[in-house]
Structure 1
Amino acid sequence: MIFKFSIALYFATTLFLFAQTEERTPHTLKECINLAIENNLDLKTTRLSKETRDVNFKQSKNALLPNINGSYNLGITNGRSIDPFTNGIVNQELTFSNAGLGLDAVVFNGFRLLNSWKQAKLNLESAEMEVEAAKQSVILNVTLTYLQVLNAQDLVKLAESRLKTTQGQLDRLKSLYEEETGNPAEYRDLQGQLAEDASNIAESKNTLETELINLNTLVNTEEAITVAPLNVQLNFEGYNYTAQEIYEKALQVFPTVKASDLSLEAAKKGIAVARSQYIPEVSLFANLNTNYSSAARLFNETGRSIVETGDFVTINNQDYSVFTEESNFTSDKIPYRDQFDNNLNSSIGISVNVPIFNGFRAKNNMALEKIKKEEAQTALTQTKLDLQQSIKQSYSAMQTAFQRYNLLQDQVKAYKESFRINEIRFNNGVSNSVDYIISKNNLDNAQTNLANVKYEYALRVKVLEYYRGNI
C-alpha cells in the first residue's frame, strides 16, 4: 500500500504541476527584468510620485513669471443705481459692462520664489533617485527569484534522480522477493524509501511552483512564464571586494543614499523659504480698464430757436415776455465699441508689503522647516547605517556560503564514494538495506545542501553587486 500510494502521489503531483506550467513560455533573465520594469506595480507607484513632483517643480518655476489677469462682465440693473458712465444716480433699467487687464510682478520677496523653485527641483531629483532605486530593487528581486527558480529546478532533478536510483534497487529486489530468495525486510525498506523519495519530489515541485508564482508576481504580466534553463553562469572563484570597499562605493552610487541626500538639501531650502516671510515684498502692478453704460448719450446740435424763458419785464406798466435763443440737440446712443475706446484708463505703480505681525506664523513655519531638516538629516544617517549593516550581513553570509560550498563539495565527493561502495556491497548481499539507505540519504542530503549553498552564494554576490550599483 505504501508503494502504491507513493507512486500515485508522484504521478498526481507531476500531472498537477504540468497542468499548471504547460502554458508557460520560457523567458531569459533579461526578458523577465524588462517585463518587470514595464509592469511592476510598486515601480509604477514610484513613477507616479515622481510625476507629481515634476508638476510641482514646473509650478514653482512658473511662479517666477508675472501674473497677468483679464476680467470682463456684462449685466443689467433696475431701479435706482449709479451710472458707470457719468457716476450719476439714475432710476431706470441700465445695461452696463466693464473690462480690465491687470499685471502683477514680484520684484523682491526675500528670494522666496527662487528658493521654492530650487527646493522643488531638489525634490524632483530626489524622486528620480527613488525611481532608480525602485527600478534597481525590482531588478534585484527578479534576479534573486530567478535564481531561486533555477535552484528549485535543480532540486527537482535531484529528487527525480534519487527516485530513479531507488526504483532500480526496488526492481532488483522485487524479483528476489517474489522468488522468496531475498530478505523481505530489505524489499519493504526500499518500498518505504521509494515513498519518501516520491514525497520529496512532490515537495520539490511545490517549491518550484511557489517560486514561479513569486516570479510571475514580480513580472506582473498576464502571460504565465517560466525560466529558460542554464541562463545564469555561476562564479565560485571568490569575491574580490571587502565590505568596507562595497560600503564606500555604495555611498557614491546607491540611489537611496542620493535620494536621502537630496531630500536633506531640499529641507535646507525649505528653511530659506520660511525665512523669507520676515522680509518685505516689493511688487510692480499695472492696470488697464474701460466700461460701457446703456444710459450714456451723445448730444448733437441741430440748430437754434427762440423760446420763452417764462420771465417778463414791465415797461410803462405793461408786461413783456422775455425770449432767449438756445441751441437744439438730438440724443443718440453711444455705440458699445466707441465707449470701450473712449473710456480707457490705466494705472501703474509699485507696492510694498511689510510683515509686521502675523500671529507668529512666520516664526512657527521657520521652526517646522528646521524640524523637517533634522528629520531629513536623521533619515540620511539612518539610511547610511542600514546600508552599512545590510552590506556587512550580506558580506558575512556570502563568505559563509563560499566556505560551505567548498566544504560541501568535499562532502559530496566523500559520500559519493561511500554510496558507491555500499551499493556494491548491498548488491552482492554483503551489507543490509539499512546501511544502503543511510548511505544513500547521506549522499542525497549532501547534494541537496550543495545545490542550495551554490545558489545562496550566487544570491549573496548579486546583493553585494546591487549595493555597488552593478545591477
Structure 2
Amino acid sequence: MKKIIPIISFILSQQLMAQNQSVKLNLRNCIETAIAYNLQVRQTAYQLATDKASLQQAKASRLPSLNGNIGHGINQGRSIDPFTNSYVNSEIAQANYGINSSVTLWNGSAINHSIKQNELNVQASEMSWQQEKDNVTINVILAYLQVLSNKEQLSIAEKQVAITKGQVERLIVLNNSGAIAPATLYDLQGQLGSDQLSLLSIKNSLETAKISLAQLMNQAYSPDMDLEPLETNGNAVLYDAGADEIFKTATQQLAMIKAAEFRQKSAQKSVLTARALLLPTLSLNGGLGTNYSSVASRQLFLGSSDVATAQYVTVNNTKIPVFAPQSNFSSQKISYGDQWKNNFNSSISINLQIPILNRLQGKTRIKQAQITEQRAAFETESIKTQVHRAVDQAYINMQTSLERYKTLEKQVADFTASFKAAEVRFNAGVNTVVEYMLAKNNVDRANANFIAAKYDYILRMKLLDFYQGKALW
C-alpha cells in the first residue's frame, strides 16, 4: 500500500492538471483537492494516527504479559552443578528454559483511566484534523473568490479599453479632417494608455490569484485554469441569524472548540490516572520452566555380590572373615530429552505491590497533571473567547459589507447613467474631453469597487456559514 498510494496521488495530480487545462473547476473540486494534498492537513492526520496507536497500546495494558527465556552456558573449573546443586570441578554445559506470564488484576483503575484519556486524545486529534481542513477550506474560498473578482474586473476593464479605443479611433478621423483640436485626441489617447495599464495590472492580479489558489491545492500553476462562477441569489440581504445565535451554534459545531474541550477532558483523566498510581497493584503471576546439565547422571543397578569385610568371627580359635552383600552400580548420563521432562517445573503466585515512598514521584506526577488540566481549561475558555470575538467581528463586517454593496450598486447605476449622458454629449461635441474622462473614470472606479464589494459580501456570508457548521459549497 505504501508504494501504491504515491502512484495514485501522482495519477490524480496529473488528472487535475489536465482538468485545469480543459474543464472549469468548481469550488468543491478546489476544496477537495486542497484537503487531499495540503501538507498541514497531512501532518495533522499523522498525529491522529499516532494517537490511535497510543489508544491501542493503552487497551493492550489489560492483557497479560507473556515472556520466554532461553539460556545456554559453559562453566569451567570449580562450579555448582545445577542438577545436583553440589560443587564439581569439571566443565559443565548447562541450559535453562522458561516461560513467564503476569496479568494486572487491579491497580486503582489506572488502566481504565488511561484508556479513556487516550480515547479523548483521539477525539481531540480528529477535531484538530477537521479544523485544519476547515482552515484550508476558508483559505481556498478566499483565493477562489479573489480569482473570480479579478476575472470579472478584467472583463470590465477590457470593455472599458474597447470603449476608449473606439472613441480614439473616432477622434482620429475628426482630427484628420480638422474638426477637433489635436489636444482632445491626445488627451483621450493618454486615457487609453491609462486604461491599458489598468488592464495589464488586473491581468497580473488575476494570474497571481490563480497561483495562490494552485499553491493551496498543492498543484502546479496553469494559466489556463478556469473557475466556475458561484451561484448567488442576486439580492444581497442581511444574514438570517444574529451574532449571539451564531456563537451559540459555533460552540456546538466548530471543530476548534470541540478539540479544546476533548483535550480538557483528557487532562482531567490524566489526574485520575496519576492518583491511581498511588494505590496498591494486585497482579497474578505464573511460570513454567526446565533445565539441563551435561554432568547429570543416574546410577544403574547391575547386581550384588558378597564381599569380605574387616569384620571376623572366631570359630575354634580360628578367625573367619565376615562377608556382606554389596550392590554394584554403573553411572549413566541422563539424556537431554529425559532431563527436559524430569526437570519440568511450574509456579503461580499473587503479588500485591504497595507504594510507600517513591521519592515523591507520585505526588509530583499528580501536581503536573493538575497543572495540565488547569492549562487545558484556560485554553478552552481562551478559544471560546477568541471565537466569540471573531463571530462578532465577522457579523459587523458582514453588515458593513452589505451596506457597502448596496451603496456601490446604486453608485454604479448612477455613474453609468451619467457616463452614458456624458458620452452622448461628448459625441455631439457639447462636452469637453475632460468632462468625458471624468465621467468614465467615475464609472470605472464604481464598477471595480462594486465587484470587490460583491465578493467581499459573499466571503463574509461564507464565514458566518463556517461558524455555524454549514456546507460551504
Instruction: Please say whether Structure 1 and Structure 2 have the same fold, judged by a TM-score greater than 0.5.
Output: yes
Q: Kindly tell me: are residues 220 and 121 of structure 1, through their superposed partners in 2, closer, same or farther at Cα, counting changes over 3 Å? A: same
User: Which whole-Å CA distance do the structure 1 matches of 2:207 and 2:329 have between them?
Assistant: 102
Output the amino acid matched with 2:79. S
Which residue number in structure 2 is paired with residue 243 of structure 1? Answer: 243
Which residue number in structure 1 is paired with residue 216 of structure 2? Answer: 218
Which residue number in structure 1 is paired with residue 122 of structure 2? Answer: 124
User: Which whole-Å CA distance do the structure 2 matches of 1:145 and 1:322 have between them?
Assistant: 120
Q: Kindly tell me: are residues 167 and 319 of structure 1, through their superposed partners in 2, closer, same or farther at Cα, counting changes over 3 Å? A: farther
User: Which whole-Å CA distance do the structure 2 matches of 1:216 and 1:234 have between them?
Assistant: 28
1:53-452 matches, cutoff 5 A: 53-222=51-220, 224=222, 226-233=225-232, 236-307=236-307, 311=310, 313=312, 324-452=324-452
Find the residue that maps to 1:87 and give its secondary structure.
Answer: coil
Cα RMSD over matched residues? 2.1
State the Cα deviation string for residues 283-330 of structure 1 (Å, max 9, x = none).
Answer: 121122211111111322122234566x46596998876654322223
Alignment check: 8 A CA contact 2:299 2:330 kept: yes
Q: Kindly tell me: are residues 307 and 164 of structure 1, through their superposed partners in 2, closer, same or farther at Cα, counting changes over 3 Å? A: farther
User: Which whole-Å CA distance do the structure 2 matches of 1:135 and 1:156 have between them?
Assistant: 31
Q: CA deviation at 1:170?
A: 0.8
Q: Kindly tell me: are residues 22 and 329 of structure 1, through their superposed partners in 2, closer, same or farther at Cα, counting changes over 3 Å? A: closer
Q: Kindly tell me: are residues 321 and 232 of structure 1, through their superposed partners in 2, closer, same or farther at Cα, counting changes over 3 Å? A: farther
Find the residue that maps to 1:149 and give its secondary structure.
Answer: helix
Q: Kindly tell me: are residues 132 and 192 of structure 1, through their superposed partners in 2, closer, same or farther at Cα, counting changes over 3 Å? A: same
Output the amino acid matched with 1:99. Y
State the Cα deviation string for residues 191-226 of structure 1 (Å, max 9, x = none).
Answer: 211111111111111111111111111111347472
1:44-55 matches, cutoff 5 A: 44-55=42-53
Alignment check: 8 A CA contact 2:77 2:90 kept: yes
User: Which whole-Å CA distance do the structure 2 matches of 1:422 and 1:113 have between them?
Assistant: 83
Q: Kindly tell me: are residues 423 and 89 of structure 1, through their superposed partners in 2, closer, same or farther at Cα, counting changes over 3 Å? A: same
Segment of structure 1 superposing worse, 50-59 or 174-183: 174-183
Alignment check: 8 A CA contact 2:184 2:433 kept: yes
Segment of structure 1 superposing worse, 21-30 or 435-444: 21-30
Alignment check: 8 A CA contact 2:27 2:228 kept: no
Alignment check: 8 A CA contact 2:210 2:221 kept: no
Q: CA deviation at 1:254?
A: 0.9
Find the residue that maps to 1:26 and give its secondary structure.
Answer: coil
Alignment check: 8 A CA contact 1:149 1:227 kept: no
User: Which whole-Å CA distance do the structure 2 matches of 1:200 and 1:321 have between them?
Assistant: 140
Output the amino acid matched with 1:78. Q
State the Cα deviation string for residues 112-148 of structure 1 (Å, max 9, x = none).
Answer: 1110111011111111111122222222222222122
Find the residue that maps to 1:278 and give its secondary structure.
Answer: coil
Segment of structure 1 superposing worse, 390-399 or 132-141: 132-141
Q: CA deviation at 1:377?
A: 0.5
For the pair 1:40 / 2:38, whether they are aligned, the reply is yes
Alignment check: 8 A CA contact 2:76 2:90 kept: yes
- Structure 2: 5+ residue runs without aligned partners? 1-18
Output the amino acid matched with 1:92. S
Identical-residue share of aligned pairs (%): 36
User: Which whole-Å CA distance do the structure 1 matches of 2:129 and 2:404 have between them?
Assistant: 37
Which residue number in structure 1 is paired with residue 9 of structure 2? Answer: none
Q: CA deviation at 1:261?
A: 0.7
Q: How many residues align?
A: 450
- Structure 1: 5+ residue runs without aligned partners? 1-20
Output the amino acid matched with 2:146. Q
Segment of structure 1 superposing worse, 287-296 or 230-239: 230-239
Which residue number in structure 1 is paired with residue 3 of structure 2? Answer: none
Which residue number in structure 2 is paired with residue 3 of structure 1? Answer: none
Q: CA deviation at 1:60?
A: 0.6
Which residue number in structure 2 is paired with residue 6 of structure 1? Answer: none
User: Which whole-Å CA distance do the structure 2 matches of 1:232 and 1:92 have between them?
Assistant: 95
Segment of structure 1 superposing worse, 113-122 or 81-90: 81-90
Alignment check: 8 A CA contact 2:61 2:111 kept: yes
Q: Kindly tell me: are residues 184 and 87 of structure 1, through their superposed partners in 2, closer, same or farther at Cα, counting changes over 3 Å? A: same
